[in-house]
Chain A
Amino acid sequence: MQKFSAKTVYRFAVHNSIYIFLFLMLVVIVIMDPSFLSLTTLGIIMGQSASKLIFALGVAGLIIMGGVDLSVGRQVGLAAVLSASLLQAPDYFNVIFPGLNLPLLVPVALAMTVTALISFVQGIMVSKIKVPPFISSLGTSLIVYGVCCIYYDKFAGSAPIGGLREDFTAVSQQGFTVLGLKISYLFIIAMFCAFLVWVIWNKTTLGKNMFAIGGNVNSAKVSGVNVSKNMLIMYILAGLLYGLGGAFEGARTGSASNVLGQSYELDAMAACVVGGVSMKGGVGTIAGVIIGVIILQVINYGLVFVRVSADVQYIAKGAIILLAVMADAKKRSMID
């Protein structure tokens, strides 16, 4: 019986190691500054998580299909620069396109179209030409970054694109207050995206096929799943989400430059893995992705809150990612 309970504890520890680790970190943060535990902090974290959740939802689908996407961050950056450059206040001193007064939705839709196209091309490479997702997204990431820099240097010069229109920034910076908790409109949009993606994953053939491809691609083929078509659609969906999240990430921070989005792919994928999406494919839930994004943001913001240096933040983030992946591997190797 002794052995039995020790084993149970061990199993629990392995299955939840990442949560235990994060909880300990949270405890340390709270000990260092108890004022961290407040509704204001929660509101801020929810606001910061919103756009990250949107693009994490995109990459989660690709991970479940057994792939990765290293181009998330650069696509987000391009979407932010593109939409910000078209949505500056007309009276801003450094306005790029004077006299432009597009409806809010047009530049956002444009950014989404561009990223959807980029992801579509990536999808073609992966599903038809059979380039490994790691390579195709690495290449894409570099190209997108280059294009973004050219656009940025040509139009914005060196200063970040600022002076964004108020109706644009309002989406992420304003909202309403429920019981003292500030909820931004962007958070509502993110939750709506989560709902939509949940429907796709769980209530459509596309979602079932996504799990089938990630679970066992050979079985999927025999079962009549059109593997490349379904992959392509999932890539386009991911691209749309990167564009949407990217545009509002710019709005949230108040400006956009070509460095925006750097290493966001790691944040997004780490959030997925922390939330139980397996890097081996076939496994994942929307609730998990939401929890993963929020947990990581709690830690991120917490470390900033207690003024840990940026270098240490990198180390902490890296450790979290490694631990999450190791825990995932270990979980899979434990049978019962």
Chain B
Amino acid sequence: MTSEYLLRMEHICKSFGVVKALDDVTFTVRPGTVHALVGENGAGKSTLMNVLFGIHQRDSGEIWLKDKTVCCANPHDALMHGISMVHQELDQVSERTVMENIWLGRYPARLMLVDHKKMYHDTKKIFESMGVDIDPKATVKNLPVSYRQMAEIAKAISYNSDIIVMDEPTSSLTEKEVDKLMQLMNIIRGQGRGIIFITHKLDEVKRIADDITIMRDGKRIWTGDVKEYDINQIVSLMVGREMDNLYPPKDNVPEETVLEVRNLKGMGKNAVKDVSFKLRKGEILGIAGLLGSRRTELVETIFGLRPIESGEILLNGKPIVNKSPQQAIKNGFALVTEERKFNGNFPGMSVLFNALITKFNRRGAYRNNLNLLSSKKMAKDAQWVIDTLRVKTPGSAIKMSKLSGGNQQKVIIGRWLLLNPDILLLDDPTRGIDVGAKYEIYQFIINLAKQGKSIIMISSDMSELFGVADRVMVMSNGYETGCLDRSELNQETIFKLSAQRL
């Protein structure tokens, strides 16, 4: 007799010290289905999957694969049992090539030597089946985040596992790649395999998933057929209250121009080619574009992380040069970077440290009368970040790596808010943040605009841009191809403009 389920996790409990991350969670996957796992930041989704994958050991509960009860002691064990996983945080050896990363630890060999040819062709084949065009020989660190994410997915697929866990695989993908991923998931499902799909984008859940499990505060709230509930109902189950709107009312009023960028061109191969725009006081300017449109490069160039070849940046009418982030910060800029793990996070340091690191370097910040850092003043600001952004954490002394992904993101946004910047550059700021918290962040952004701050927000989520931006600038391949007013916004125009320079 074959089992009805590929996987059954029953009554799983897991605590980290006093934090009960999983409380009697039961979770199943049927063959040939996509099972969505949703919940707020810190609900326990990643922890549940880490228990399955042998990264964390459960305190109690049982795991059944088909008809066998198993216990994955470590990830290697899990892979042997036919479970592979795409992790929430990219964990790649960035100095090596894509293919080496994919086959890490199991290089194909011939005559005891690594068979690079086979590795290349196998990798190529997987990418072809996924419909993406990535050079297997490219060095990982030179690739945009979305490509790296696709490579991670390719790696999980290459194991040919029965169950593939995807922990927020779409958080750094653009719509086009999301489409490709969905097609791929369809194929895998058709082969009778199972996919566990964690995401904060509920439209994706509606689009692809068969079953859905909703978690809140470490408990399973509901499991069932996706079709039974609409998005609003799922949201209210997730956050535990009604949410009428996904976006707060927009009541900021843009005033005079504060920042003007003229024909900005960066140095180097992957640099910005030609971008001009104006940003007004109290305005939220969205930036849309496809993968490789160099939106990240644009904000990094403005922020002084990348050198400028030509062009001008005018702040309040006066030309400025941000040669370094220090200078940019002095000029009132702030940047929430795209890839938290690479250049945002200090995983080994405390939440307090992560929240205050930018302000530490402001002259005179947190000093007591001995001109030393005052713990009391630091604790006050850290608490402010935790309260304002509703970071779910047992305290500010805990290590950052122990927070859930979304909560880490909130701390990083908080560190910039502490500086009270005039121009806030946000590179996909709501990446990995749950719907409820997103609303709060939008509200925050709009409030900042109302206080006369200006915001540039890159986003891969078009509805987000429609929801909060006053204008949307579109980029294509390093060029600015158009700027749309709120009233002119529509998906087709944006698509057309983003493809203009390809």
Instruction: Tell me, yes or no, whether A binds B.
Output: yes
| A residues 174-222 in Cβ contact with B at 8 Å | 199, 202-205, 208-209, 211-212, 215-216, 218-222
CB pairs A–B below 8 angstroms (7 shown): A208-B357, A215-B348, A215-B349, A216-B343, A222-B337, A223-B358, A225-B326
Nearest A residue to B326 via CB reads: A224
Say which residue of A4, A208, A282, A336 sits within 8 Å of B56 (CB atoms): A336
In the complex the two chains form, is A224's CB within 8 Å of B347's CB? no
Interface: B342 (CB within 8 A): yes
In the complex the two chains form, is A221's CB within 8 Å of B325's CB? yes
Q: How many residues of chain B have a CB within 8 Å of chain A?
A: 32
In the complex the two chains form, is A218's CB within 8 Å of B360's CB? no
Say which residue of B325, B348, B372 sits within 8 Å of A282 (CB atoms): B348
Interface: A226 (CB within 8 A): yes
Residue-wise, chain B 328-354 has the 8 Å CB interface mask toward A (1 for contact) of 110000010100001111111100010
| A residues 145-194 in Cβ contact with B at 8 Å | none
For A202, list chain B residues within 8 Å (CB). Answer: 373
Say which residue of B56, B325, B373 sits within 8 Å of A223 (CB atoms): B325
Q: Chain A: interface residue count, which band?
A: 20 to 34
Nearest B residue to A199 via CB reads: B372
Interface positions of B (Cβ within 8 A of A): 16, 55-57, 59, 303, 305, 324-326, 328-329, 335, 337, 342-349, 353, 356-358, 360-361, 365, 372-373, 415
Given A199-B372, A203-B372, A335-B56, residue A223 in contact with residue B345 (CB < 8 A)? no
Nearest B residue to A216 via CB reads: B346
For B335, list chain A residues within 8 Å (CB). Answer: 222
Instruction: Decide if the interface of chain A is mainly helix, strand, loop or mixed.
Output: helix
For B357, list chain A residues within 8 Å (CB). Answer: 208, 212, 219-220, 223, 225
In the complex the two chains form, is A205's CB within 8 Å of B373's CB? yes
In the complex the two chains form, is A208's CB within 8 Å of B373's CB? yes
Interface positions of A (Cβ within 8 A of B): 4, 7, 199, 202-205, 208-209, 211-212, 215-216, 218-226, 282-283, 335-336
Interchain nearest-CB distance for A79 vs B (Å): 29
Counting from the closest, the 4 A-B pairs by CB-CB distance are A218-B343, A203-B372, A215-B346, A224-B329
Tell me, in angstroms, the Cα distance from A51 to B365 when the chains sit together: 35
In the complex the two chains form, is B343's CB within 8 Å of A221's CB? yes
Given A205-B373, A212-B346, A216-B347, residue A223 in contact with residue B353 (CB < 8 A)? no
Tell me, in angstroms, the Cα distance from A209 to B357 when the chains sit together: 8
In the complex the two chains form, is A208's CB within 8 Å of B57's CB? no
In the complex the two chains form, is B345's CB within 8 Å of A336's CB? no
For A283, list chain B residues within 8 Å (CB). Answer: 348
Interchain nearest-CB distance for B398 vs A (Å): 13
In the complex the two chains form, is A336's CB within 8 Å of B349's CB? no
For B373, list chain A residues within 8 Å (CB). Answer: 202-205, 208
Nearest A residue to B401 via CB reads: A335
Say which residue of A204, A220, A222, A226 sits within 8 Å of B372 (CB atoms): A204
